[in-house]
Structure 1
Amino acid sequence: MNKLEISWTSLWKILLMIVFGVALYLLRDVLIILALALVISSALDAPISFLERKKIPRILGTILIFLTGAAVLTLLLYAIVPAAIMEFKNLSDILSKYQLKLPAVQVFNSLDFIKNIGVYLGNFANTLLSGGISFIGVISAIFGSAVFLTAVFVLSFYLSASKYGVEKFLRAVLPSAQEEYVMKIYFRARRKIGLWLQGQLILSLIIGLAVFFGLLILGVKYSLILGILAGILEMVPYVGPVLVGIISFLLVISQSLTLGFSVAALFVIIQQVENHLLVPLVMRYTTGLHPVVVVISLLAGAQLFGFAGIILAVPAAVVIQEIIEDWAIQKKSVKE
């Protein structure tokens, strides 16, 4: 019978791994803040670098980009809120009654982030109706706290303002042995993430406007909120638009059978135009991720980290894809 021997070195390694894992768990909020800041600063690097090439100092360009983004979001918020408050409230009441129990969307009902969407909308509307409307307040409510939001904003600003800020940060914290490999993965992933973000924003804007104006022409209530919801859920390939279509159909089918089928036809047309025209034109040079991988990543991100997890899901999937592809290339070269 062989005697199992474990050296003290192995025991220390196991202990260090356990301590490291516990530390990561305890610092998970800090790591999420850091990851969000890295994603935001990487996404903003292209427009800031463009301004820098136009002889605008990088720090000034960063301030302009951040102020412009905040101004646009604030303007949209205050332009939409007056018309959207009551729609949020009424729609949340209806969604709470349905509870999204249709078999087609049962998988979403298992997620805390999704199954309570009616409650979230109701609470959000009540907050707005109480008079506590502010840009920081609304965004903070989405992410969980003002401290969280402030930390992400400040860290992403400093990383963006410093030329090669993200690269310098990564090189500072990485072991020298893995530095070049990680940087190679980062540069490839950053390019894909930037392209994906640009394409996704374009698709979300087009689909959101198409749903809003289409439902408005048909005379459907809550067309504004459903258009916003369609734009947001557009980041979930295939499933997001279908989910909005089902919600829209449920809202109108009790009023008029003809209107219900008209809404269904509208979403079928939008879906076909998106799949056969918009997606090939807009997204052909993006991440290369399979839609199933994107859906699984978004579901996992939402379940693990809520709204922040949704934002980080695709970037994380892109990085993992790059690592797997790199391993496959190395394995192939070794065989040859």
Structure 2
Amino acid sequence: MTKKLWFQVGVGILLALLIIRMFIEVKGIFSPLVIIGQTIFLPLLLGGVLFYLTRPLLNFLESKGWPRWTSILAIFIAIGFFLWLFSFMIGPAVTKQVNSLVEDAPKITKDVQTMVDYALDQKNRLPDSIKESIDNQSSKLNDFAQRFGVGLITFIQSMFQGLFLLVLIPFFLVYLLKDHEKFAPFVANFFSGERKTWIRKTLVDIDITLKSYIQGQLFVSFAVGMMLLIGYLIIGLDYALILAIFGMFMNVIPFLGPYISVIPALIIGFIQEPQMAIYVAIIMLIAQQIESNLISPNVMGRALDIHPLTVITVILAAGNIAGLWGIILAIPTYAVIKTILKNAYARRAEIKEAATSTVEEE
């Protein structure tokens, strides 16, 4: 029985739960490590994202004979130029629309309150059974909105609190660009024989998975933001630029992002002109259909190969466990775990096949 896969998996799960339980019991001992991890988490995360975005440029420059340090310096110059160009071209328009939105905020708030009061008044005219069903669903929606709102506020607070740590991002990026080839051999050196080869292959596959997700997801989000901007400008929606930028950033959140990003656009569109909300919904629908059926399959390919139902389940579970950070990191984490398990299963099949061949030869 001990050789059965289900038994070994069960023992592995029990051991993992036992380790987690013991870690919780003695977490005071590891509190300094937890503090250090929380401190460097955001700079390391952003540095890693920039690494996967800039590594193709590094490879291209080195293929042309540029030295490593010269290539890294060129990358930082390119990043600085891009930031300057973005602030020069987009900054004034964003500032103008943000100031306008702040000035109109009281009026928008009053209009939203009026719509809510009207909707509540109409609800009181419905049959009791329908009102009860609406109340139940509203309660569930409010609970989720409150949890998500708290997570969003915590996320924003952590972003602002970590702004002073952003100075660490260039240092992480430099060393990632400089020494990224050394990581897999360093880890593999702790092993020997075929296991060493398997470890190196698994790390390469993880690197490919993360690269496919980060580069693909950011490109897809940028494409969605551009489609929203063009659509909003065509229909004449107020605050089109900041709403499109908001939609671009929210699209980084799998599955839930598009629904979150369309809410403020629908509200502002309805306040501006009631039929404008319909146009906003149509634009979002078209953008998401183009993204899901044309852009994502061609940009991200089948590197992740995760079923949509699995995506929803993983996101909801991660959101309940770790809030907004869990929602953002759920899919790449799941993809990495899936890659490890896939390689482990393939390795097990190879060992089993080799053992069978040996027995047959004897």
Alpha carbons 1:229, 1:244 under 8 Å: kept: yes
Distance 1:168 1:39, change over 3 A: farther
CA contact (8 A) 1:58 1:163 kept: no
Q: Distance in 1 between matches of 2:83 and 2:56?
A: 20
- Superposition CA RMSD, Å: 4.1
Secondary structure class of the residue paired with 2:343: helix
Question: 315-324 or 218-227: which moved more?
Answer: 315-324
Partner of residue 70, structure 2: 60
AA of the residue aligned to 1:27 = I
AA aligned to 1:325 is K
**Residue aligning to 2:204:** 187
Residue 203 (1) aligns with residue 220 (2): yes
Distance 1:107 1:324 in 2: 32
Which whole-Å CA distance do the structure 1 matches of 2:292 and 2:222 have between them? Answer: 15
Q: CA deviation at 1:86?
A: 4.1
State yes or no: 1:70 paired with 2:87: no
Distance 1:261 1:252 in 2: 8
Please tell me whether the aligned partners of residues 193 and 286 of structure 1 are also in contact (alpha carbons under 8 angstroms): no
Letter in 2 for 1:110: R
Q: Is the 8 A contact 2:53 2:215 kept in 1?
A: no
**1:252 equivalent in alignment to 2:252:** no
Overall identity of the aligned pairs, in %: 24
Q: CA deviation at 1:261?
A: 1.5
Q: Which runs of 5+ in 2 are unaligned?
A: 1-21, 117-137, 354-362
Greater mean deviation of Cα atoms: 219-228 or 151-160 = 151-160
Q: Paired residue for 1:26?
A: 35
Structure 1 contact 39–315 (Cα < 8 Å) conserved? no
SS of corresponding position for 1:236: coil
Could you say which residue in structure 2 is the equivalent of 1:136? Answer: none
Distance change (3 Å), C-alpha of 1:86 and 1:291 = farther
**Aligned amino acid, residue 65 of structure 2:** K
1:224 deviation in Å? 0.2
Deviation sequence 1:87-146 (CA, Å, 0-9, x none): 3355474787869999778635413565549x96xx9xxxxxxxxxxxxxxxxx946335
Q: Secondary structure at the match of 2:288?
A: helix
- TM-score if structure 2 supplies the norm length? 0.66
Q: How many residues align?
A: 300
Residue 4 (structure 2) aligns with: none
C-alpha spacing 1:213/1:35, structure 2 compared with 1 (3 Å): closer
Per-residue CA deviation, residues 271-316 of structure 1 (Å, 9 max, x unaligned), is 2222222222222243223445556459848984967x77755443
The yes-or-no answer on 1:158 pairing with 2:167 is no
Residue 110 of structure 1 is matched in structure 2 by: 147
Alignment of 1:130-149 (within 5 A): 142=159, 144-149=161-166
What is the CA–CA distance in structure 2 between the aligned matches of 1:170 and 1:35, rounded to whole Å?
20
CA contact (8 A) 1:37 1:156 kept: yes
In structure 2, relative to structure 1, the CA distance for the partners of 1:164 and 1:18 (3 Å cut) is same
1:48 aligns with 2:65: no
Which string of whole-angstrom CA distances, capped at 9 and with x for unpartnered residues, describes residues 195-215 of structure 1? 223322332222111111111
TM-score of the two chains, using structure 1 as the length reference: 0.71
Give the SS at the match of 1:208: helix
Choose the corresponding residue for 1:233, options 250, 253, 256.
250
Q: Tell me, what secondary structure is at the counterpart of 1:261?
A: helix
Going from structure 1 to structure 2, the CA distance change for 1:257 and 1:145 (only over 3 Å counts) comes to closer
Q: Alignment partner for residue 278 of structure 1, among 280, 295, 300?
A: 295
Task: State the SS of the aligned residue for 2:212.
Answer: helix
2:306 is equivalent to residue 289 of structure 1: yes
8 Å CA contact retained: 2:47, 2:170: yes
Which runs of at least 4 in structure 1 moved beyond 6 Å after TM superposition? Answer: 94-106
Is 1:327 matched up with 2:344? yes
The yes-or-no answer on 1:88 pairing with 2:105 is: no
Query: Which structure has the larger Rg over C-alpha atoms?
Result: 2
In structure 2, give the amino acid aligned to 1:231: M
Task: For structure 1, list consecutive stretches of 5 or more residues without a partner in the other structure.
Answer: 1-13, 124-140
